[in-house]
Amino acid sequence: MSAKSRVLVVDDDASVGKVLSAILAQAGCESLHAESVDRALQLLRTRSIDLVISDLRMPGTDGFGMLEQLRKQWPDVPLIMLTAHGTVQIAVAAMRAGAVDFMLKPFEREEVVATVQRALDATAARRQEPPRLPQIGEGFFGSSAALAELVQRLERAAAGSATVLLRGESGTGKELAAKRVHARSERAGKPFVVVDLGAIPDNLMESELFGHEKGAFTGAVQRKPGRVELAAGGTLFLDEVGETPLPMQVKLLRLLQEREYRPLGGTAARRADVRFIAATHRDLESMVEQGTFRQDLYYRLSVLPIRLPPLRERPDDVVPLARHFCELFARDNQRPGLRLHPDACAALARHSWPGNVRELQNAIERLVVMSAGDLVGKDDVERELRRTACEPAAARLDPRPGTPLSLEARVQEAEREAVATAIHKAGGNRTVAARILGISRRSLYNKMAEYGLD
């Protein structure tokens, strides 16, 4: 958990605020406590807040009132609902109203840390996603034939009820596509629940998906509904399904095949009234051949496979996207007159954009922030592209040719090599790679980001 993250705890019980603040501090996160919604709103107006944890029942304005104010004034700040009155109806209502998650009192330290981390990670990922731009349908921007074909396939998929498998590189907009299918389906208006299977620790995955009964394990003092139950009547989006560990793949297969599941500690199977949409950037066919992904699960997932084209296959969309991002970030940075020179647009169009729309968005934001005048030129673009170009590991660790690497740099180089080797041996399966290295998947993701291996 980043020490820069600041969490606002809203609870009229001072002891609850103190305990949560202590847990968050131990996890390396700064926290503030407000004993009322009015005080919380004052803090939001004067402080930068990354996440709100709000009690449901409080004197005066309650947790739903807090959530309503967030959605109106600070829509980018997520809220986790906290309640001692944990019913499925309240949890579903909270998430339908816009809460990203919920926790039940009394809570365990591990649950608090995992839930907060998940919410912060999801928010960070959303902020890196391309904005939803109004062109070819909601959420998709461009005029290329490839994009038009994608939107048509999503429209056809939305009309049915079969499981959809979205395939595509990172940054191509798979979650955006899943939301479009849901919004155009007969389940629109019902919950759209996301499960990032690549971000949930293996030992918590079953509980997150299926929920647990009271007494199912140490610390399970109340029944907690899982994501399948919260999505009842709507759509369950299984993001990064290729990261599902093999033991969990068996239970996921039963969920898709039989449309039923069993909560941890439960004695009876429950019906799953959801539509499934899955997404992955992984080569599932190769994983099936390597034995790291079940063939029967693969067939269950890929009833309606839809490929999202990378940006390099949509070259006509690069310049319109770049101009839109430039206008957007210029406005956000109080530089409304800033624009892209035609030569800069040509340089952007020539780039392959391996990170897709997300990479283009980030590059334009940096250009807007760092440019000196009112015009972003070709030299600015080429300098930015050179800066972000991949370099050999040793050169990145110590850029001076002929200079011996320091001990710290050598350690980093060795660590990067170990991570890269483990990923290669695991055939790209991050769960297997983490096991090879003897670290958690979260630690592996951090290392991959640090060394540019993601």
Boundary of a domain, candidates 388, 416, 437: 388
Instruction: Please give the share of the chain, as a percent, with pLDDT higher than 70.
Output: 88
Query: What was the pLDDT predicted at 224?
Result: 87
Q: Is residue 136 part of a domain?
A: no
Query: What was the pLDDT predicted at 137?
Result: 46
Among the listed ranges 116-120, 286-290, 417-421, which one has the minimum average pLDDT value?
417-421
Regarding whether 210 and 84 lie in a shared domain, the answer is: no
Regarding whether 329 and 196 lie in a shared domain, the answer is: no
Whether pLDDT at 131 is above 60: no
Q: Is residue 395 part of a domain?
A: no
CB–CB of 8/1 below 8 Å?
no
Query: What was the pLDDT predicted at 422?
Result: 77
Query: What was the pLDDT predicted at 432?
Result: 74
- Would you give the DSSP letter of residue 281? S
Burial class (CB in 10 A: 0-12, 13-18, 19+), 134: exposed
Regarding whether 366 and 247 lie in a shared domain, the answer is: no
Cα–Cα–Cα angle for 10, 11, 16, rounded to 5 degrees = 120
Q: Which of 197, 194, 160, 202 is nearest to 178 (CA)?
A: 194
Regarding whether 360 and 261 lie in a shared domain, the answer is: no
Boundary of a domain, candidates 81, 96, 128: 128
Regarding whether 190 and 101 lie in a shared domain, the answer is: no
The count of other CB atoms within 10 Å of the CB of residue 274 is 23
Interval 217-246 mean pLDDT: 90
Whether pLDDT at 105 is above 90: no
Whether pLDDT at 294 is above 80: yes
Tokens of 91: 């949890």
CATH of the domain at 437: 1.10.10
CATH of the domain at 39: 3.40.50.2300
Tokens of 326: 């430039």
CB–CB of 139/132 below 8 Å?
yes
CB–CB of 37/57 below 8 Å?
no
Q: How far is CA 367 from the centre of its chain?
A: 25
Regarding whether 305 and 181 lie in a shared domain, the answer is: yes
Q: Which of 272, 275, 165 is nearest to 209 (CA)?
A: 272
Q: Which of 121, 123, 116, 118 is nearest to 9 (CA)?
A: 116
* Terminal alpha carbon distance of the chain: 19
Q: Is residue 396 part of a domain?
A: no
Instruction: Please give the share of the chain, as a percent, with pLDDT higher than 90.
Output: 47
What lies within 8 Å, CB to CB, of 234 at 6+ separation is 182, 187, 190, 191, 192, 193, 274, 275
Q: How far is CA 317 from the centre of its chain?
A: 24
| 43: alpha, beta or left? (left if phi > 0; alpha if psi -120 to 50) | alpha
Q: Which of 446, 423, 447 is nearest to 435 (CA)?
A: 423
Collapse the DSSP code of 81 into the 3-class scheme (helix H, G, I; strand E, B; otherwise coil) and give the result.
Answer: strand
Name the pTM for this structure.
0.62
Whether pLDDT at 405 is above 50: no
Q: Is residue 135 part of a domain?
A: no
Interval 105-112 mean pLDDT: 86
Please, what is the average pLDDT of the chain? Answer: 84
Upper half-sphere CA count for residue 317 (Cβ side, 13 Å) = 25
**φ and ψ at 377, to 5 degrees?**
-100, 180
Q: Is residue 209 part of a domain?
A: yes
Q: How far apart are CA 95 and CA 333, in angstroms?
A: 32
Q: How does pLDDT run across 2-50, given as a tens digit for each residue?
A: 557 899 999 999 999 999 999 999 888 999 999 999 999 999 988 889 9
Q: How far apart are CA 158 and CA 72, in angstroms?
A: 29
Interval 400-417 mean pLDDT: 56
Collapse the DSSP code of 239 into the 3-class scheme (helix H, G, I; strand E, B; otherwise coil) and give the result.
Answer: strand
Range of the domain at 52: 6-128
Q: Is residue 144 part of a domain?
A: no
Q: How far is CA 3 from the centre of its chain?
A: 19
Tokens of 362: 């980030």
- Would you give the DSSP letter of residue 137? B
Boundary of a domain, candidates 128, 158, 183: 128
Regarding whether 167 and 301 lie in a shared domain, the answer is: yes
Q: How far apart are CA 71 and CA 153, in angstroms?
A: 32
Upper half-sphere CA count for residue 235 (Cβ side, 13 Å) = 27
Interval 366-380 mean pLDDT: 87
CATH of the domain at 174: 3.40.50.300
Angle between the N-to-C axes of helices 246-258 and 202-210, in degrees from 0 to 180, rounded to the nearest 10: 20
Regarding whether 228 and 200 lie in a shared domain, the answer is: yes
Regarding whether 316 and 297 lie in a shared domain, the answer is: no
| pLDDT level of residue 402 (50, 70, 90 thresholds) | very low
Q: How far apart are CA 296 and CA 293, in angstroms?
A: 9
Whether pLDDT at 404 is above 50: no
Among the listed ranges 316-320, 346-350, 352-356, 409-413, which one has the minimum average pLDDT value?
409-413
Among the listed ranges 44-53, 90-99, 226-235, 403-412, which one has the minimum average pLDDT value?
403-412
- As for how many domains the chain has, the answer is 4
Q: How far apart are CA 284 and CA 288, in angstroms?
A: 6
Q: Is residue 140 part of a domain?
A: no
Regarding whether 322 and 301 lie in a shared domain, the answer is: no
Q: How does pLDDT run across 321-364, given as a tens digit for each residue?
A: 898 889 888 888 888 778 899 899 999 999 989 889 888 988 99
Regarding whether 170 and 251 lie in a shared domain, the answer is: yes
Whether pLDDT at 398 is above 90: no
CATH of the domain at 356: 1.10.8.60
CB–CB of 32/41 below 8 Å?
no
Query: What was the pLDDT predicted at 396?
Result: 36
Q: Is residue 145 part of a domain?
A: no
Regarding whether 232 and 214 lie in a shared domain, the answer is: yes
| pLDDT level of residue 441 (50, 70, 90 thresholds) | confident
Q: Which of 419, 395, 420, 312 is nearest to 359 (CA)?
A: 312
